[in-house]
Chain A
Amino acid sequence: MSWSFLTRLLEEIHNHSTFVGKVWLTVLIIFRIVLTAVGGESIYSDEQAKFTCNTKQPGCDNVCYDAFAPLSHVRFWVFQIIMISTPSIMYMGYAIHKIARSSEDNRRKHQRLRKRPPPHTRWRESQPLEGVLEEEEDDDAEPMIYEDALDVQEAKVDPVSSTGKDPPKHDGRRKIMQQGLMRIYVFQLMSRAVFEIAFLAGQYLLYGFRVSPSYVCNRVPCPHRVDCFISRPTEKTIFLLIMYVVSCLCLVLNVCEMLHLGIGTFRDTLQMKRNRGRRSASYGYPFSRNITSSPPGYNLVMKTDKPSRIPNSLIPHEQNMANVAQEQQCISPDENIPSDLASLHRHLRVAQEQLDMAFQTYQTKNTQQTSRTSSPVSGGTVAEQNRCNTVQEKQGARSRSATDKAATIVKNVKTSVWI
């Protein structure tokens, strides 16, 4: 039980830091802990035994050594390492605790959701967020990409990487943000920086930049002013300077990490504002929930003689509401199904909607009189179609326009078996 305990703890922190944080940890472990343990033992082992004063007065050596070194360099560095590691260890404990709790909450929520379908608005609100989060998941698999990439947005075209690594890692700036740990992480960084600065200042005040070879001492019981001589002063000076440089390097890495977080958060906020601006126009509509619509399979029974192309601008408002209601009804079964089948289900559902649209247009053309709606509504329905399409795109399907899909599906319908 020496440094191995602390190094094991610090290695755990690797799974909960950003890229710069990992570099900081490596520097801490390799340069500071190893140097202190190895160099400290060999250089400072005889620091008092070989501290000789130019007198035979017993006790003068002890007293003068105590005056020269109230706290030995090695012990100072031990305190420094422990105090600087403490914020990271506390953060790690808190992060693990919070992640464990949130995963339990998610499990409970999923169990609850299986029992009742979510309300319409909640589903709508969660969609854009899910989209953004899914995009961010791609970057988390390779935090280094974020560091080097000039355009983060282009990286989102990659399919969602499998998060099947065990143990689950919660590193990377975005994952930290997702878990709501960003504030504590920043607080931890700041306290680390404060401790680092405090210890650097303390080291300067206590030891300066040089270990002088001789020390003049006038304490009782030394009979007069005596010269005392320190063992290995040059080696100790070199070591002292190395530890100064390593401390400054760790401080610089701390500052870099804070900047990295700040710039990244700033970029994300800008991007989210842009996305919100794009999507808020389409979601300005309060859709009512009281929509009566035919059950999903009903329209399959209807015969059709001629297929009709459906230009998006002519889709009446009510039909889209019907589609949305159908989507809403079909949400709850998906919860129980694994993700691949769920995506397949979604594809099938969208295809079904297109079919329903086609048949209902044919129906309503004959029956409806006052179906023409104003332009903002049709704009909304166009956006609705686009949103369905983007959902499919995110599942990895090829992107097609709604009209093409409807047209091809309708064409296929003509050739397939109908009752």
Chain B
Amino acid sequence: MSWPALYAQLVGTNRHSTSLGKVWLSVLFIFRVMVLVVAAESVWGDEQSDFTCNTLQPGCENVCYDQFFPVSHIRLWSLQLVFVSTPTLLVSMYVAYRNHCDKRRILQGQEEELESLKKRRLPIAGALWWTYLCSLVFKMMFEGGFMYALYVVYDGFQMPRLVQCDQWPCPNLVDCFVSRPTEKTIFTIFMATASSICMVLNLAELAYLVEEGTGREEKPAAGRER
């Protein structure tokens, strides 16, 4: 998984985010991507090789592992991180579109402003505000959706030590033992917590945007009254 490529994409959009957005990006990369790559992947590294069942029947271990771990945690978290980062690209797409339109206008006029066009920071108002809001809503939806999916697939955030399986070709109800269950539970809880923190940050950013947007609508109304 090429996380540096994702990072390069997201860092460019940082200029157009609010401060909360920047904090969200740091939390995402430090507490989730880094922990995933550096620590979690080694914990889940031997999840199938060390999944042992109390039987000599060949094939029973494979089948039982597949029954209890349809999607590995690592893959779920990687998908979650990719989906959660994507709405930010909506904002950068809109900014690129605006710059493209303005460039066309400016090329007909002066040429010096092209440089400032690239470096400027658009105020979050109007269509950009709506785009930003939509991106936040999508982020929260993906975040919540993946957390719920993890909870449903694995029946909670705790990794069981022992699972019992009687799929064919296992001869009877066999005990199968998961490798490193406590460590996996710790990491699952950690990632769920980081996910909730990101959701809270998104909510706060949403509230801030709404407040700023309504505040701006009131000001011209007040001006018109005078």
Which of A's residues lie within 8 Å of B, judged by CB?
Answer: 1-3, 5-6, 9, 37, 48-49, 57-59, 61-63, 65-66, 69-72, 74-75, 78-79, 82, 85-86, 89, 93, 97, 220-221
CA distance A48 to B49 in the complex (A): 11
Nearest B residue to A60, CB-CB: B177
List of B residues within 8 angstroms of A63 by Cβ = 161-162, 177
| Those of B180-215 within 8 Å (CB) of chain A | 180-183, 186-187, 190
CB distance from A155 to the nearest CB of B (A): 38
- Interface majority SS (helix, strand, loop, mixed), chain B: helix
Contact partner of A71 (CB less than 8 A), chosen from B3, B37, B178, B182, is B182
User: Is the Cβ of B29 less than 8 Å from the Cβ of A89?
Assistant: no
- Interface majority SS (helix, strand, loop, mixed), chain A: helix
Is B19 engaged at the interface, CB distance under 8 Å to the other chain?
yes
Assess A3 versus B38: contact at CB under 8 Å? Given A58-B177, A97-B19.
yes
Q: Can you list 18 A-B contacts (CB < 8 A)?
A: A5-B30, A61-B52, A62-B161, A62-B177, A62-B180, A63-B161, A66-B179, A70-B182, A74-B42, A75-B39, A75-B183, A75-B187, A79-B39, A85-B30, A89-B26, A89-B30, A221-B54, A221-B175
Is B46 engaged at the interface, CB distance under 8 Å to the other chain?
yes
List of B residues within 8 angstroms of A48 by Cβ = 46, 50, 179-180
Assess A1 versus B33: contact at CB under 8 Å? Given A63-B177, A71-B186.
yes
List of A residues within 8 angstroms of B2 by Cβ = 1
CA distance A97 to B21 in the complex (A): 13
User: Is the Cβ of B38 less than 8 Å from the Cβ of A62?
Assistant: no
List of A residues within 8 angstroms of B147 by Cβ = none
Contact partner of A78 (CB less than 8 A), chosen from B4, B39, B176, is B39
Is B7 engaged at the interface, CB distance under 8 Å to the other chain?
yes
User: Is the Cβ of B7 less than 8 Å from the Cβ of A5?
Assistant: yes
CB distance from A206 to the nearest CB of B (A): 12
List of A residues within 8 angstroms of B179 by Cβ = 48, 62, 65-66
User: Is the Cβ of A93 less than 8 Å from the Cβ of B23?
Assistant: yes
Apart from the given pairs A1-B4, A71-B186, 5 other A-B contacts in the complex at a CB distance below 8 Å: A61-B52, A62-B177, A66-B183, A75-B187, A93-B23
As a 0/1 sequence over residues 5 to 46 of chain B, the CB contacts with chain A under 8 angstroms (1 = contact) are 001000000000001001100100111011101110011001
